[in-house]
Amino acid sequence: MSEYKACQKATVKVVNVEGDSICERRKDHMKSMVLKVRGMTCMHCKANVEQALMQMSGVKEAEVHLQKGEVSVTFDDAVVDLEEIREEIEEIGYEVEG
């Protein structure tokens, strides 16, 4: 599915076939992703993941949704890529699906 907006900013939404992640990409290199993450069970887990991601260069927003087992992250893909974000989450002890 894709969606385009007027003006100079274009937005494209991509949904992984397995539903593991949702990605929104804008023309300005900002990307918003929703990742499925296992092992987050409490507010301490939420704080750990959000803090680790927010300390990464290029990450603009990070929010954990405990009940859904998801992490929403907005980042500049010219500075940091999805693989680096996945690795950061896994380094602190959680499993990224997909």
Cβ–Cβ < 8 Å for 52, 89: yes
Q: pLDDT value at position 80?
A: 96
Distance CA 51, CA 2 (A): 31
**H/E element holding 82?**
helix 82-91
Tell me the pLDDT of the chain (98 aa) as tens digits: 333 333 334 333 434 445 555 555 555 789 999 999 999 999 999 999 999 999 999 999 999 999 999 999 999 999 999 999 999 999 999 999 97
Please tell me the pTM assigned to this model. 0.73
Domains of the chain: 29-96 (3.30.70.100)
